[in-house]
Structure 1
Amino acid sequence: SNWSVGVPAADVTALNDGTSTISVTVTTAAGNSGSATHDINVDSSVASISFDAISTDNVLNAAEKGQDLILSGTSTGLTAGTTVTVMLNGTAYTATTDATGNWSLTVPAADLATLGEADYTLTASATNSTGNSTSTTANLLVDAAAPVITINTLAVDDILNATEAQADLVINGMTTAQAGQTVTVTVGGINYTAQVQADGSWSITVPASAVSVLTDGNTVITASVSDIAGNPATASHNLTVDTAAPVVTINTVAGDDILNTTEHGQAQVISGSATNAAPGDSVTVTINGNSYTTVIDANGNWSVGVPAADVTALQDGTSTISVTVTTAAGNSGSATHDVNVDATAPTLAFDAISTDNVLNAAEKGQDLILSGTSTGLTAGTTVTVMLNGTAYTAVTDASGNWSLTVPAADLAGLGEADYTVSASATNSTGNSTSTTANLLVDAAAPVITINTLAVDDILNATEAQADLVINGMTTAQAGQTVTVTVGGINYTAQVQADGSWSITVPASAVSVLTDGNTVITASVSDIAGNPATASHNLTVDTAAPVV
């Protein structure tokens, strides 16, 4: 006979994991009983499974996509040997758990090659021996496309000229790598780094000290970056370093670099050449504020015509021609050339005589050099100088300068007066010129005196505790400096309009003067530099009588 009973779900749920025993007793109508037991195993625990990090960061870059990929993970509630099934892009891969629940499998590189640039969801599932199933997922981003990096034009035109080579060089560009990635730029064997900005831009600055040592020629600059997946990209950019300045030569003008009266009224050609320059490079010629432009010809030569009106406007003397050649790289080279215009009378001028046109006693006692300048006088022209009825001669040098010496013996005959010195000369074309200069002879030393001190030239105990006024008179000019020395300390005063002067010695310095005689000196020089000194005795008597 069969029997059956229903056990409510609540009672089944109350069973604990492990072995549960079922006991059954059957009793007949006669009262006889029979029993039996039966064990069942309760396994209500849930198995679990998880992925380890895939390729360390769950991102597959180009290098990782080109090799086999190991997928691994852990589990709980699965006995050793349980099959784990992993699905990737519609393909199933299997592994078995080991005694600790770990599992791993290999996805061939050939399968990975079919994966596009996308974010893939991997699933892993398994069923334990009691029929409990578990599954989990993991994301895998396939990012095998290399980023793009570019370098912008350098130094405006990809040419580094001499001026630019002395300044910082900014190198920048764009990249598709993610913001925050590091860009490494190599210039002249030195690496510089920058961070990718939110807009994909990057920028580094090469300091002037590193730019200046780049050698002329082609310099290859490289910039490299890796995206967040580790895919690298590199760009290179050529920078031409051209720091050689043109060397400019200016030919002789008008045959001898002198414009005479006839040439001064005619148009003139200014010409020359340049090295380190190419045909077509610009040439600017400037003279007397006027500029004329041309270009270098195929032979490296250049020339410009200066109209007669501009030549005629040149003043007598030296006119400087300035020529600047500028290359396509922006390097400039300049040269100057002097021409002498001799179309009118020459000129003469004195330099300052004895620095201030005043001869003091010391200067009167030594030889005197008279010198000056001239225009329109060729080298070797005689200049005649007259002083106090005596003639002295000099010759001009190549620059028109001249100098001569008046002996001290001649100067000794000069009295205290203002003398007119004249200079005259005649140039090679017969044009004469003359000029004058004044020379004041002031060889008399000034006089300086010191007034009575402390009423009676005696400093008593009371006076020694107060300021001490020291004053006097001098014949030196107003504004000259008087230096007074008291007890080894110098004090200064200015000569007033009436010739007086005054200084105050503070009480702190007066009080330390020792009893006895103190010599006070006052010195001054007049405007011509003649010195004078006076001394004055001051008796210091601070000892109180003992009564």
Structure 2
Amino acid sequence: MFSGQSTSSFASLFTSGAERVSPTTTSRQHRDTTPPAALHPYEPLAQDGVIAAWESNRAIHLRGRAEQEPGATVTLSFNGESWHSTVNHWGYWHATMPPSILQGLADGNYSLTLTISDKAGNSTATEVGFGVYVDKTLRPEISVAPVSGDNAISVAEGIYGVEVSGLVTHMPLNSHVTLTLGNRSTTALVDEHGAWQATFTPEDLHALPDGVYQLQVSARDPNGKTSTVQHELTLVTHPESLPHISFDSVTADNVINFAESQQDLMLSGTLSALTPGQKLELCVGDNVYHAAIDAQGHWQAIVPAGEVSSFISLGEVRVYALDAAGNSTDTTLELNVVTTLPDIYCEMNIGGDTFLNAQEAQQPLSFYLEGVNQLTLNGKAYTPVNGMVTLSVADLQALPDGPVSAMAERWDSYGNHDSQTLSDLFTVAVHQLPSLTLQQPFGDGVIAPGDMDHWHLIQGSSDHLTQGSLVTVTLGDRHYSAAVDESGEWSLTILAGQLATLEPGSYQMSVSAQDKAGNLASAVRTVTVEDAGSTDFSATTIDSLLAHYGAGEAIPDAAAAGSEPDHHYGSSDAAWTLADHLQQQPVAALI
């Protein structure tokens, strides 16, 4: 019925008859310019579109139907050669390609051309793809691209399922690649470039326990050659698999004291679960510390001694649990840090100052001391009670004169402790007491009437009084003052006329002074004032003395006269008249 290479004799006769039609008749016919419908084979070439080795020695057939085009020519073209057939009067066509055309072809995907040409010369071509896989020495080679970029699927990624892709060789277009993950399987189709892609759904992932899997990818070529590769894939897609982070006490009392801040610091705890690729990081500022994790989930991290101070400075540590899939849980560890002791505060008042004199040492001394657990003073330990420290009289008497220093011992319940010296806590002046001497005043202790208009030097010495200490001399109701010099001596001058108010009789001239601690020194001499009869050294007397100079008479200037009373001050008791004194002092000062 069909001929692949020549035209039938019937067709030749039909053509000859057509050539004898008159031109007049031809001009009346309608010219057909509509191309025939494209051919669609009933089935792929070789039934499955692939010519395998066992099919390579057989003729290659394509068949179909073009019911509107009986008598049309069907041409099969491939690799530069063509084969022809004719659509029969029922509209069926059948084209054949000899197996020899495959010789020398490399395995792979090809296409041939099916062309239908109607009687009017219109034609339509159709490409038909097929594969040639006749080399039995080859087998598929499979590669798998990294899944999700890191071959690990996290909780967030598992919500949408996961795509797996790769390449395969020696596999026809639209052939299948099979993927198996745990007890879940799926398939992928191979495209014209050998690429394939498959998806495991969220339901697939949910059905698989978290862990590390070997994804199996298999392919079987048309010759029955099978290849399988394994690709490691980590699944951590269940939120309940993520660990909870717990902490052990950082120290025995969970408080970091000063000593502990100067040595390596170990932090530890437990993870409630372990996921593949589990890691734990401790972060403070820009510093990250990695913890070691054992098979039971116990973890620990060491902070070197030199970094502990900065590690604890913020008072908290951010801790992250990470896994191979990129899941992360975190929490904050609050650090209890006490590395300093309270400041020492002392409040002491010994008669308004911090000097302990002999009189004050006759009674216990109490003072307030804060921030000290034990005070050692002069070899004896004292424990503050409600902040108060009390030194007994015996303890005070046992202290040597001079500044008192004490050793303060401090500690707290967190293990901090230190010792500090409290210098100059107070000053003791109990044993080396000051003393004064008073030389016999007025030469013999007697103030005669003639002594009234003379000045008199009063002097003495001292022990244990510092230079500049004030010495007060009292006679009657008059008080005079002097200062102790660098050698411990003191002196003052009673000016002429200053004794005039003394009534005849016996008096006690007393001299007194006190040291910085308030210790009092004194000395006493008896002074007798002789009776001068009715002598009244009053304002009238002073007026007569002033008249001695006369109005307009210049008062001698001490400097001009070469006389400086300061040179006599404290040097002798030679006569020095009231008139001499009046040259140095305003008269009003004596009235």
TM-score range, shorter chain: 0.3 to 0.5
Greater fraction strand: 1
**Normalised by the size of structure 1, how large is the TM-score?**
0.47
Normalising by structure 2, we get a TM-score of: 0.44
Specify the structure having the higher radius of gyration (Cα).
2
